[in-house]
Amino acid sequence: MNDLQALFPNGFQLLAILLMAGTTYFTRIAGYLILRKGKISARINAVLEAAPCCVMISIVAPFFMTDDPITLISLLLTVVYSIRFNFALTVIFSVLTQCLLLHFF
């Protein structure tokens, strides 16, 4: 496999990415769709806002159980990014960090 092919996901990886994105999006809108005709209290709104983060944590959490130093460094930098930047930038930075660390080490 050449280096260019390694940058792009194969069919199964792409399917997994799309399913995770769909699951995250569904958890984001499902509560709002179910409760769209009723009044949403501040407490219910807080629960609805927290649901996508719970899904993302369940996807990422198993990676913390590794002994691979590159993955652990990437996870640490992702935590640092998440304190400073919004979610979209954190995802972009974390993917780039992992790619660069894997490429150079």
In DSSP notation, 66-97 reads ---HHHHHHHHHHHHHHHHS-HHHHHHHHHHH
Residue 97, pLDDT score: 92
Residue 19 CB coordination number (10 Å): 10
Residue 53, pLDDT score: 66
- Give the separation between CA 41 and CA 46, rounded to whole angstroms: 9
Tens-of-pLDDT digits for all 105 residues of the chain? Answer: 566 666 677 788 888 888 888 887 787 777 778 777 777 788 877 776 766 666 666 666 777 777 888 888 988 898 899 889 888 888 899 889 989 998 888
Cα of 85 vs its chain's centroid, Å: 14
The domain limits of the chain are 39-104
Please state the pTM of the whole predicted model.
0.48
Residue 12, pLDDT score: 83
Residue 29, pLDDT score: 78
